[in-house]
Structure 1
């Protein structure tokens, strides 16, 4: 009879552990997917920003040697992603192709200027910073005019701020749900051992001594759940890379490291805190309160 009861208790305990692991794995997988969206949204945002150029139209008196020197100095600047030079001759060809006729035939001369397109690094693509750069370039002796799409920059900045705000709100909401779900699973697991906790306490065991094995057990379950979640995320990475190879999911090692570190850290921190407070609650209960 005793062996049957022990077998039943073991099955019950194993079932409890499995449910905790599954809960943790599902929640961490959800958190990982959300983290992937956040990290990749930043990458996509930066790519969009770095396609925006500020164009410097050069004065006609600037020589080829001076242009090359100027280009080299621009490329060395902290704000520069890349520099593209377009001669006035090439600009005329491009414009003629766009309008479908050679405008120089009736003008008799090329009114266009040599131009340098500066593609900026993402942090510098804001209305304030680009205005500051415009003012700086207008003071340069080689520059006749500075041009960029101010309306587009304002629109990109506003939309990115809106998207970032709502992503943070959603992330905070789902992170809270994650903590609540994992906490609930761990509390239910410890609830089944509340009599053991009180028995140990009654025979003189300290709170720290009683709490320690529960914390380590929960952390182990958390790491198992994190491993399962990471396997799921790896599968997601693989298929997303197939459908959207331009985003370079499998080549983005930084994002992978952030996600792995984030999922493992979340598993450790949430299980540690949840187990601590769950055991503390039962340690503080009176014996008669264990039945409710």
Structure 2
């Protein structure tokens, strides 16, 4: 009879653990999908920021003595940009000839009837580091800094497009953070309920151990270890599921298979799974330890 009861208890325990792991992994999987959306939204925002380039136009050197050194002065200025200014991510030099070719392409003509190639100044196209630029005001300040150099004639940037894009990015970021907080609360509640149901099924075992003289720490410790393992396993399953889902999407849509931001996402999912499972177990077990025997029913 006792062997039958032991088998029944082990079967019920196994079933309870499987239910908890599946419940937590599904919740973390949904949270991971939201995380993928956030990462890709951030990557797209950075892409848009990189497309908003600043162009500094060089002055024509009038002094005949310095005419031969004009190109060297311009290249020296370009090389100094990355050294002096951390907000500069990349630079591209555009010579007068290249500027003329771009103008011809924009006008849709291959001839030189409308202009002379020498009327277009040489320039440097600057790509800003999106991580360091958070507002249009910063770009205005950068324009003023770049224009102070004596060989620079004018600094231009598409301010209207920048205002529109930065406003949209800030708005999207705000709502993403709101939904992230709401979703995280839902995740905590769902995982907590799954763990509480598991501990509820063991409430008599907990109270029995307490009645025979076991200390609370001794009673709670194995539950916490088990909760940490279940949380880790659930997070691992969720991460594998997310990886499989992303692989399918990436191969079909043509996205990159790996983004460096995926590593923090996986660590966060594991952390959430383990921490919430452990603390939910601790609070639930502690609750039943404080109850009287007749209150367990």
Distance 2:22 2:105 in 1: 61
**Other-structure match for 1:32:** 32
Q: How does 1:80-95 map to 2 (within 5 A)?
A: 80-95=88-103
- Structure 1 residue runs of 4+, over 6 Å off? none
**Other-structure match for 1:116:** 124
1:260 paired with 2:269, answer no
Shift in Å at residue 11 of structure 1?
2.0
Partner residue of 2:287 out of 267, 281, 284:
281
Change (3 A) 1:244 1:234: same
Q: Which moved more, 1:264-273 or 1:122-131?
A: 122-131
Q: Cα RMSD over matched residues?
A: 2.0
Using structure 2 for the length normalisation, give the TM-score: 0.90
- Secondary structure of the residue aligned to 1:57 is strand
**Other-structure match for 1:156:** 165
Shift in Å at residue 148 of structure 1?
0.3
**Other-structure match for 2:210:** 201
**Other-structure match for 2:13:** 13
Q: How does 1:173-184 map to 2 (within 5 A)?
A: 173-184=182-193
Change (3 A) 1:179 1:242: same
1:66 paired with 2:73, answer yes
- Secondary structure of the residue aligned to 2:54 is strand
Distance 1:198 1:107 in 2: 93
Unmatched runs of 5 consecutive residues or more in structure 1: none
Q: Which moved more, 1:7-16 or 1:19-28?
A: 7-16
**Other-structure match for 2:228:** 219
Q: Which moved more, 1:34-43 or 1:140-149?
A: 34-43
- Secondary structure of the residue aligned to 2:149 is coil
Change (3 A) 1:161 1:212: same
CA contact (8 A) 1:25 1:225 kept: yes
CA contact (8 A) 2:97 2:117 kept: no
Distance 1:261 1:147 in 2: 42
